[in-house]
Structure 1
Amino acid sequence: MIHTLGRAVRRVYRRRVDLSHPARSPLGSSVVDCVGYADGVRQAGSCPAAEALRRVREENGADPAGSFVWIGLHEPSREEFEELAELFELHPLTVEDAVDAHSRAKVVPYDGTVLAVFRTVGHAAHAEVASTTQVVETGEITVITGRDFVVTVRYGRHGSLGPVREALEAAPEQLAKGPSSVLHAVADFVVDEYLAVAEAVQQDIDAVESAVFSGHAGRGAAGRSEAGRIYQLKRGLLEFKRAMSPLHRPLEALAHQPASLIAPEIRPYFRDVSDHLARAGEQIHGYDALLDSILQAHLAQMTVAQNEDMRKITAWAAIVAVPTMVCGAYGMNFEHMPLTGSVWGYPLVLAVIAVACHVIHRGFRRNGWL
Structure 2
Amino acid sequence: MIKKRNAINKVIGRPFKRHSKIGQAPGTVIYLGKRKDEKFEVTFTHFSPEEYTEISMERPEAFVPAPGNNGVNWFNIKGLSNTQEVDAFGRSFGLIPLTLEDIVNTDQRPKLDYFDDYLFVVLKMIYLDDTNNINVEHVALVLLRKSVLLFQEVEKDVFEGVRERLRGSFGRIRSRLADYLLFALLDAIVDQYFIVMEHVGNRVEALEEKVYNHPKSDTVYEIQALKKEVLELRKNIRPVKELINQLINLDHPLISEDTRPFYRDILDHCNEIQDTIDLYREMSMSLMEIYMSNMSNKMNEVMKVLTIMASIFIPLTFIAGIYGMNFRYMPELEYTYGYPIVIGVMVLMVILMLIYFRKKNWL
TM-score grouping bracket, smaller chain normalisation: 0.7 to 0.9
TM-score (norm 2): 0.78
Match of 1:271 among 252, 256, 264: 264
Distance in structure 1 (CA, Å) of the matches to 2:40 and 2:249 = 35
Partner amino acid, structure 1, of 2:150: T
In structure 1, distance between residues paired with 2:155 and 2:218: 29
Distance 2:216 2:175 in 1: 58
After superposition, the C-alpha distances for 1:209-238 in whole angstroms (9 at most, x for unaligned) are 33344xx33xxxx34344443333332221
Match of 1:163 in 2: 161
Please state how far the C-alpha of 1:199 moved relative to its aligned partner.
1.7
Query: Can you give the 5+ residue segments of structure 2 that lack an aligned partner in the other structure?
Result: 1-36
Q: How does 1:133-148 map onto structure 2 within 5 Å?
A: 136-148=134-146
Distance across 1 between alignment mates of 2:352 and 2:131:
53
Identity among equivalent pairs (%): 24
Cα 1:207–1:70 change in 2 (3 A) is same
Asked if residue 199 in structure 1 is aligned to residue 198 in structure 2, the reply is yes
Check 1:55–1:277 CA distance in 2 against 1; reply closer, same or farther (3 A cut). closer
**What is the count of residue pairs matched by the alignment?**
325
Residue 163 of structure 2 aligns with an amino acid whose one-letter code is R
Q: CA RMSD in A?
A: 2.9
Q: Give the aligned partner of residue 244 of structure 1.
A: 237
**1-side partners of 2:235 and 2:66: how far apart?**
41
> Which residue number in structure 2 is paired with residue 11 of structure 1?
none
Q: What is the TM-score normalised by the length of structure 1?
A: 0.77
In 2, the alpha carbon distance for the partners of 1:205 and 1:123 equals 16
Residues 248 and 95 (structure 1), Cα distance of their counterparts in 2 relative to 1, 3 Å cut: same
Q: Which shifted more, 170-179 or 272-281?
A: 170-179
Corresponding residue of 1:12: none
1:358 and 1:157 map into 2 onto residues whose CA distance is 75
Q: Is the 8 A contact 1:180 1:266 kept in 2?
A: yes
- 1:260 aligned onto 2:253: yes
Q: For CA contacts below 8 A with separation 6 or more, give which structure has more relative contact order.
A: 1
Contact 1:37 1:68 (C-alpha < 8 Å) held by counterparts: yes
Evaluate the alpha carbon distance shift between residue 181 and residue 157 of structure 1 in structure 2; reply closer, same or farther with a 3 A threshold.
Answer: same
Structure 1 distance, partners of 2:290, 2:66, is: 65
Give secondary structure in 2 for the equivalent of 1:122.
strand
Distance 1:126 1:84 in 2: 34
Tell me by how many angstroms 1:117 deviates: 0.9
> What is the SS of the residue equivalent to 2:253?
coil
For the residue of structure 2 that corresponds to 1:258, the secondary structure is coil
The match for 1:280 is 273
Question: Match for 2:150 among 152, 172, 177?
Answer: 152
Matches within 5 A, 1:1-370: 29-31=39-41, 33-38=43-48, 41-43=51-53, 45-46=55-56, 52-56=63-67, 59-60=68-69, 65-110=70-115, 112-123=117-128, 136-155=134-153, 159-171=157-169, 173-213=172-212, 216-217=213-214, 222-370=215-363
Alpha-carbon distance between aligned partners in 1 of 2:227 and 2:55, rounded to the nearest angstrom: 47
Can you give the 5+ residue segments of structure 1 that lack an aligned partner in the other structure?
Answer: 1-23, 128-134
Distance 1:200 1:66 in 2: 38
Q: Find the residue that maps to 1:152 and give its secondary structure.
A: strand
Measured in 2, the distance between the counterparts of 1:364 and 1:277 equals 57
Distance 2:348 2:131 in 1: 57
Shift in Å, 1:150: 2.3
Offset at residue 286 of structure 1 (A): 2.3
Deviating more after overlay: 272-281 vs 111-120: 111-120
Residue 116 to residue 40, structure 1, CA distance change in 2 (3 Å): farther
Partner-residue secondary structure (3-state), 2:65: helix
Matches of 1:269 and 1:197, distance apart in 2: 22
Q: Distance in 1 between matches of 2:245 and 2:226?
A: 29
Q: Distance in 1 between matches of 2:130 and 2:48?
A: 40
Tell me if the contact between 1:177 and 1:263 (Cα under 8 Å) persists in the aligned partners: no
